[in-house]
A and B are shown apart, each in its own frame.
Chain A
């Protein structure tokens, strides 16, 4: 790298106030100190890649630090840059390497074959656009709901909801590929660009006008990082809200449960979508909604983002944040901890088990809650 970290990430503005570190969800349970990383970048005294600074892999890319910085410094981008520098040297930990190689070969980071991508839809009537066939309204189900058995419930629920509302959607079947959101955050910019190119061409060949995604992560990258894609990208919570407002989706079956809602970082903090999921949730009859103390822009991150699904966290200590979240939800008296992201679903559900709360609370995706009310 010819240009210094200081110049690339405009670190000179930093006044070392420490707001970034104070808001960092992993700072108190790993030795990632993002203010220090900025300082050492600024003074050129620190390692120049994540190989020399392995704690950079702990960042969940929740963007708290970048959002909170009063001087417009971008600490999160610096951390991703350190990952990139390591990736360029081939220094990716084996789990990350495997996820990246799998994405290149199979179009998904889970090491699974492309021809198995639609197995989730096997017994369901899911419309697939043939090559070149118009698909103005595309449901982009995503890699994790395609392959991860628990997350498959998200896709399965959504297609039931779409069918009930008579939505004229299509999927791309096994031609769908990874969106690249996590790939970019793992620091593999070259692979990200390849995915952007391939996906853009694919969407255009189907005349896509609107993409509805299962995951906030896919929506985020389509909306914010695909350049002049010219396609509206919606998370399904936004889309369901529209369907409810237009009277196209009816939810007649009461779900008599006390429910709280965990804001996924890529829906909330990254895209300021706080109201739609709550509106959809409250449209389910019978639901009693209780709000977390730390919600909306103050919500805790579940630690499932930023490629962390494929990262072995470096020197963690103490309670996982997802466990704190689950304990808080139990204390609120919630039957269901609802979220709207496949990664949150997996990390929170895992945390129910590891925090000894099995049987006390269930983690439910918003799509599942809505499907229950059909």
Chain B
């Protein structure tokens, strides 16, 4: 069983103070460590586990700048057999559908039984590329997948719904699945492994390599356009607890008790 995983590199912002770039079209990237998008990491692990169990290869595909090679190398260190990167100015500033169109052009020529993506990205959070990709490839799609059971030419997936419910779907393969975090426990990519993988080749594909009309991808191929990023307006009702950790945690306990939460 062969699996294609579409993934992307994102800045890690959990610990950072995020600042808008001067053109308000992005954030200041300086000093932010780059990493694989969290949900994509689970998608990759799921693909590796499945191909280890059912034999086959994992191919990872990304669309992004030169720095994205790092997540492809990490994926190869973990066990991916091939890596493809869509690169070139034609892909710049694409919306999720334009990105999906480009990815579909690269994926369609690969041999696969499943296409996995993360269910959402931690930077833009559109939750759209996976669905659009399935549409472009004319394949069935499921989002928020937290369970997978392989059958003969089909897969039974569990989708996470609200309130702890799981929706079970039986899907014909090939299909595109948006993997939710927590479905597995991603493995570690050792530095030695990444160094070894850096000697392996990454297949670079431009829009013309993929036979794509430049007007169909990137900014030109997008129906939505990013106007501006802005900070949310400061709301009311938040209280900042001052003091040492011991003092502020004491105050927090008081507040929780007062409001009847504990």
Task: Give residues in A with beta carbon < 8 Å to B.
Answer: 87-92, 94, 96-97, 100-101, 104-106, 111-116, 149, 188-191, 193-194
Do A88 and B15 touch (CB < 8 A)? no
> Nearest A residue to B48 by beta-carbon distance?
A90
Cβ–Cβ < 8 Å partners of A89 in chain B: 187
Cβ–Cβ < 8 Å partners of A94 in chain B: 185
Cβ–Cβ < 8 Å partners of B231 in chain A: none
Chain B interface size, as a band, is: 20 to 34
Q: A105-B33, A106-B15, A106-B33 are in contact. List 12 more A-B contacts (CB 8 A).
A: A88-B193, A90-B193, A92-B187, A92-B188, A94-B185, A97-B186, A105-B12, A113-B16, A115-B16, A116-B15, A191-B191, A193-B191
Do B33 and A88 touch (CB < 8 A)? no
Q: Does B35 contact A (CB under 8 A)?
A: yes
> Nearest A residue to B13 by beta-carbon distance?
A113
Do A88 and B192 touch (CB < 8 A)? yes
The 8 closest A-B CB pairs, nearest first, are: A190-B191, A113-B15, A90-B187, A190-B192, A105-B33, A97-B188, A92-B188, A191-B191
> Nearest A residue to B195 by beta-carbon distance?
A190
Can you show 5 pairs from A to B with CB atoms below 8 A apart? A87-B188, A89-B187, A96-B188, A97-B186, A111-B15
Query: Which of A90, A114, A193 is B189 in contact with, Cβ under 8 Å?
Result: A90
Within 8 A of A (CB), among B86-100: none
> Nearest B residue to A93 by beta-carbon distance?
B185
Q: Interface readout for B170-195 with A: 1 if CB under 8 Å, 0 if not?
A: 00000000000000011111111111
Do A112 and B195 touch (CB < 8 A)? no
Query: Which of B31, B78, B188 is A114 in contact with, Cβ under 8 Å?
Result: B31
Q: Does B237 contact A (CB under 8 A)?
A: no
Shortest Cβ distance from residue A356 to the other chain B in the assembled complex, whole angstroms: 21
Per the bound structure, the CA–CA distance linking A194 and B186 in Å amounts to 23
Cβ–Cβ < 8 Å partners of B125 in chain A: none
Q: Does B153 contact A (CB under 8 A)?
A: no
Q: Does B245 contact A (CB under 8 A)?
A: yes
Do A112 and B15 touch (CB < 8 A)? yes
A90/B190 contact (C-beta < 8 A), A114-B31, A115-B31 known: yes
Cβ–Cβ < 8 Å partners of B186 in chain A: 97
Cβ–Cβ < 8 Å partners of A113 in chain B: 14-16
Q: Interface readout for B225-256 with A: 1 if CB under 8 Å, 0 if not?
A: 00000000000000000000100000000000
Interface of B is mostly: loop
Query: Which of A96, A105, A112, A149 is B35 in contact with, Cβ under 8 Å?
Result: A105
Per the bound structure, the CA–CA distance linking A115 and B16 in Å amounts to 8
Do A100 and B188 touch (CB < 8 A)? yes
Do A189 and B188 touch (CB < 8 A)? no
Shortest Cβ distance from residue B182 to the other chain A in the assembled complex, whole angstroms: 11
Per the bound structure, the CA–CA distance linking A191 and B15 in Å amounts to 22
> Nearest B residue to A174 by beta-carbon distance?
B31
Cβ–Cβ < 8 Å partners of B14 in chain A: 113
Shortest Cβ distance from residue A370 to the other chain B in the assembled complex, whole angstroms: 22
A188/B16 contact (C-beta < 8 A), A90-B78, A149-B245 known: no
Shortest Cβ distance from residue B3 to the other chain A in the assembled complex, whole angstroms: 17
Per the bound structure, the CA–CA distance linking A104 and B33 in Å amounts to 9
Cβ–Cβ < 8 Å partners of B190 in chain A: 87-88, 90, 188, 190-191
Cβ–Cβ < 8 Å partners of A91 in chain B: 187-188
Per the bound structure, the CA–CA distance linking A105 and B17 in Å amounts to 16
> Nearest B residue to A192 by beta-carbon distance?
B191
Shortest Cβ distance from residue A194 to the other chain B in the assembled complex, whole angstroms: 6
> Nearest B residue to A115 by beta-carbon distance?
B31
Within 8 A of A (CB), among B128-155: none
Cβ–Cβ < 8 Å partners of B78 in chain A: 90
Shortest Cβ distance from residue B192 to the other chain A in the assembled complex, whole angstroms: 4
Per the bound structure, the CA–CA distance linking A101 and B31 in Å amounts to 16
Cβ–Cβ < 8 Å partners of A105 in chain B: 12, 33, 35
Cβ–Cβ < 8 Å partners of B185 in chain A: 94
Q: Interface readout for B4-35 with A: 1 if CB under 8 Å, 0 if not?
A: 00000000101111000000000000010101
Do A188 and B189 touch (CB < 8 A)? no
> Nearest A residue to B12 by beta-carbon distance?
A105
> Nearest A residue to B187 by beta-carbon distance?
A90
Cβ–Cβ < 8 Å partners of B17 in chain A: 115
Do B191 and A90 touch (CB < 8 A)? no
> Nearest B residue to A100 by beta-carbon distance?
B188
Do A189 and B192 touch (CB < 8 A)? yes
Per the bound structure, the CA–CA distance linking A339 and B97 in Å amounts to 60
Per the bound structure, the CA–CA distance linking A89 and B35 in Å amounts to 20
> Nearest A residue to B32 by beta-carbon distance?
A113
> Nearest B residue to A193 by beta-carbon distance?
B191
> Nearest A residue to B17 by beta-carbon distance?
A115
Per the bound structure, the CA–CA distance linking A88 and B197 in Å amounts to 13
Within 8 A of A (CB), among B187-223: 187-195
A104/B15 contact (C-beta < 8 A), A114-B31, A115-B31, A149-B245 known: no
Per the bound structure, the CA–CA distance linking A113 and B16 in Å amounts to 7
Shortest Cβ distance from residue A178 to the other chain B in the assembled complex, whole angstroms: 13
> Nearest A residue to B33 by beta-carbon distance?
A105
Do A90 and B188 touch (CB < 8 A)? yes
Shortest Cβ distance from residue A175 to the other chain B in the assembled complex, whole angstroms: 12
Do A101 and B15 touch (CB < 8 A)? no
Per the bound structure, the CA–CA distance linking A90 and B48 in Å amounts to 12
> Nearest B residue to A88 by beta-carbon distance?
B190
Within 8 A of A (CB), among B63-100: 78-79
> Nearest B residue to A104 by beta-carbon distance?
B191
Per the bound structure, the CA–CA distance linking A115 and B188 in Å amounts to 25
Shortest Cβ distance from residue A54 to the other chain B in the assembled complex, whole angstroms: 14
